[in-house]
Amino acid sequence: MNMAKTKSDRKLVKAAKTGDLSAFSELTERCRPEIMVELTGLTGNIHDAEDVLQEAFLRSFLKLSSLKEPYNFGGWVRLIARNIARNRLRREPKFVQLQENFAEGRAEVNTDDGSLQTELALLALSRLSPKLRETTRLTYLSNYSQKQVAARLGIPLGTVKRRLWESRIKMRKEVMSMSRTGRTPESVNTVPVIKIRDLPGEEMTVHAVGPGLYFSTVLKEGHEEICQFFDYPGGILTQIAHSQVVRKTEVFGRKCFEVLIDHSDCEPPIPNVLQYFTLTDNGFSWVMMTTADEAYPQTRFMKEGEEIFPLSYSSGENEEYSARAVELTVGNINYGHCLAVFWSWQNGTPAESFFTLKGRQVLHRRYAGPEAPESQNYQYENLPEEGAKVFRGTEYRLWYDTVLLQS
């Protein structure tokens, strides 16, 4: 064993973990030739081998802080590359078959380590265009296969591959730029820092000013607000929703508020939605929803009493929800004392809504449990364990955050 090289590799990994991209580049150049030879034999041609290797380098950069044996960087990247190649050949068999005795390895992204290199990569990913951002997020953070991403986004497999290739180039340039300047970009699309401090023993009651869809709407004619959705893992922006209470109208003789919701900065595009709510003695009743999809316009009518949101919430636990007093800070906004309401755990995807003392909902968190219905929107095993919420013996992992941007 070359002890000088071993020591040098260890130092380079240590430097790369602090954000030294020149150190990471040197590490990749050292192991590139040997891995390329192996990948060319596995994939059958040098072009596929290069594509696999570039993806392996990106995944290893995102996951670098989890490498426990820094002297073995090359072997670790080789394992990641083999796994990527093996998965591709399994989905799209061609040229050669992989040997069955290759070591198994997963290259999932650990986005909760707080290291600088992970932060830079996530910031670079967040600055991609919506199409590139969502394609890259689903592939590298949520670990969906390229075919699954193509099906979810409704695009050809070739388009997914082209987007990933373009994303890798743009992310590399962005990370290099941030590293050289020593600062983060001015515009990022990652979730703001959320701080929640429990207030044990404090009792609270809040009177809601709206039904909580979408997700903080105040039922007052002319009211407007903007919310941002950040999906996990990674806390990357996936859409922006603009809500406007257009007018008061009647639906089947019931006086309702008409709420127009349009979406932006999302992939695939989401059609506008009209929702209708009425205020009753029992709460805010959801009456009807119309989706303005040109190809498949849909209207759903709610049965009497089917969807009702309470007029008020109090700390404590009952059959409908569990609530506790907290102090909440989102980004640079301190909302002070708020009531955190945990509800809808019965369907396996509970929500936690945070109301201010004035009844405004300013944060909406959605979770998924291990027994939740299968969905193309999340994979439970890939959601971050850090920040999971345990309720009645079940662990629920954070799926997305919706943050009030302005109103």
- Last residue of one domain, picked from the residues 61, 87, 108: 108
- Residue-level pLDDT at 225: 92
Say if residue 308's pLDDT is above 70: yes
Asked if 22 and 42 sit in the same domain, the reply is yes
- Residue-level pLDDT at 40: 78
Number of structural domains found in the chain: 3
Say if residue 317's pLDDT is above 70: yes
Asked if 58 and 22 sit in the same domain, the reply is yes
Q: Which 3 state secondary structure label does DSSP give 34?
A: helix
- Residue-level pLDDT at 106: 28
Q: What is the mean pLDDT of residues 310-323?
A: 93
- The rounded distance, in Å, linking the Cα atoms of 183 and 191 is 18
Between residues 334 and 104, the one the model is more confident about: 334
| 242: exposed, middle or buried (Cβ count in 10 Å: 0-12, 13-18, 19+) | middle
Structural domain boundaries enclosing 379: 195-406
Asked if 214 and 335 sit in the same domain, the reply is yes
Say if residue 113's pLDDT is above 50: no
- Residue-level pLDDT at 109: 36
Asked if 171 and 201 sit in the same domain, the reply is no
Cβ-count burial 60-69 (b if 16+ within 10 Å, e if not):
bbbbbbebee
The listed range with the strongest mean pLDDT (81-90, 144-153, 351-360) is: 351-360
